[in-house]
Structure 1
Amino acid sequence: MNGPKTVTLPAGGEVLARGLRAGVLPEPPPEFGVYLLGHPLDRPNLYARLLVGLRPWTPGWPHLRIDWPDFSPPRRPEEAAAGLRDTLARIERGERVEIACGGGRGRTGTALAALAVLQGTAPADAVTWVRTAYDAKAVETRAQHRFLHQLLQHQQ
C-alpha cells in the first residue's frame, strides 16, 4: 500500500487510511490516529523492523494503538470494538482521523470494514465495499473475516 488515501464510509464520514511503512505523513496531520500493530509504536519488534521496515515513532497527535498482529484479528476483540466505536464517533463529529497498520492493507482494510459494520453494513457487504473503495486485497484472512462477524456481538 502506498501513501495516505481518504476513504468515505458507506453511511458517511471520511477517514484517512495508510500504511506506516510508506513513511508518508498525511498533510495536514490527523487530529486522531488509530494504529493497528502487534507492538508499541515506539518499540517495533524484530519482524516490524527488519521485514516490514518500521522505525520507532510516536505521533504528535492523540492516538490509540490496538494490539493487532499482522494477518490476524485483534488480540482483544472487545477492546478493539470499543476503540473502533469511539473512532467512528470522532469521524461522525467531523474529526480528521487516520487508521494505519504496517502495510496499510489487511489490518487497515479490516478496520475500515469494521467501521462500515458499526454503521450498519452487513459484514460481507463491508468487505466488498472496502475492496472497492480502498484496496482490492483488503481483509486478508479468514480470521479477519470472522472478526467482522464477531463485531456484531460486541455492539452495545
Structure 2
Amino acid sequence: MTETWDPSDAGGLRLPSGRLVRGRALRRPLPADAPEPTYAVYLLGKRPPEVPWEAHWLRWPDFRLPADRGEARTVLTEAWRRTPADRVEIACGGGRGRTGTALACLAVLDGVPPQEAVAYVRHHYDRHAVETPWQRRYVRRFGDFG
C-alpha cells in the first residue's frame, strides 16, 4: 500500500469521505516538495509523454468534453476507487477546466450531489475550476452516464 497525498500538498483536494486526490496543470513542473503520483489520469486532446508511474490518457480536448463519456466514467471511477491507497493525480494543460470537471465528477462519485459538485471543487480546489457551461452540465449529468 502506498502513502496517499499530504493534505497540504499543492493542488490537493479532500473529498467529503476523506479521500485525497491532486489536480495539476501539466504546463507546470511537478511540485518539487511533493512525491510523484502512483496513478494519474491525463485529460488531453493528444497522447501525453510517457511517465514513470501508472497513467491513463483520456482523450479530452481543451474547453470540451471527453471524447468517449463511457470511457471517462470508467476511468474516473477507477481513479476514485484508487484514492484510499494511491497518490492519484488528475491533470490537464491548465489544471482548471478539464481537471476541475473531472474532480467534480470524483466528488459526485464520493457522494456530493451533482448540482453541488462544481461549487464544492471551486471552494476546495480552484475558484476558476470547470470553465464552460457544457462542463458544468456534464458534471450535473455525470450520474446519468453510468
* TM-score, normalised with respect to structure 2: 0.88
The RMSD of aligned alpha carbons is 1.5
Whether the aligned pair in 2 keeps the contact of 1:4 and 1:24 (CA below 8 Å) is: no
One-letter amino acid matched to 2:47: P
SS of residue matched to 1:66: strand
The reply on whether 1:78 has 2:85 as its aligned counterpart is no
1:153 offset after TM fit, Å?
1.3
**Aligned to 2:46, which of 34, 39, 43?**
39
Tell me what 1:98 maps to: 89
Tell me what 1:12 maps to: 18
1:1-156 mapped onto 2 (5 Å cutoff): 4-25=10-31, 27-41=34-48, 57-92=49-84, 94-155=85-146
Question: Cα–Cα, structure 1 residues 124 and 150, in superposed 2: closer, same or farther, change >3 Å?
Answer: closer
Which structure carries more helix by proportion? 1
Whether the aligned pair in 2 keeps the contact of 1:77 and 1:147 (CA below 8 Å) is: no
SS of residue matched to 2:56: strand
1:4 offset after TM fit, Å?
4.0
SS of residue matched to 1:22: coil
Whether the aligned pair in 1 keeps the contact of 2:21 and 2:88 (CA below 8 Å) is: yes
Question: When the two structures are aligned, how many residues end up with a matched partner?
Answer: 137
* Cα distance in 2, alignment partners of residues 75 and 15 from structure 1: 23
SS of residue matched to 1:138: coil
Tell me what 1:48 maps to: none
Whether the aligned pair in 2 keeps the contact of 1:68 and 1:74 (CA below 8 Å) is: yes
Whether the aligned pair in 1 keeps the contact of 2:16 and 2:111 (CA below 8 Å) is: no
- Gaps (5+ residues) in structure 1? 42-56
- Gaps (5+ residues) in structure 2? 1-8
* Cα distance in 2, alignment partners of residues 31 and 137 from structure 1: 26
Q: Could you report, residue by residue, the CA deviation over 1:31-88 in whole angstroms, capped at 9, with x for unpaired residues?
A: 10110001111xxxxxxxxxxxxxxx31110111111111111111111011000111
SS of residue matched to 1:147: helix
* TM-score, normalised with respect to structure 1: 0.82
* Cα distance in 2, alignment partners of residues 23 and 114 from structure 1: 25
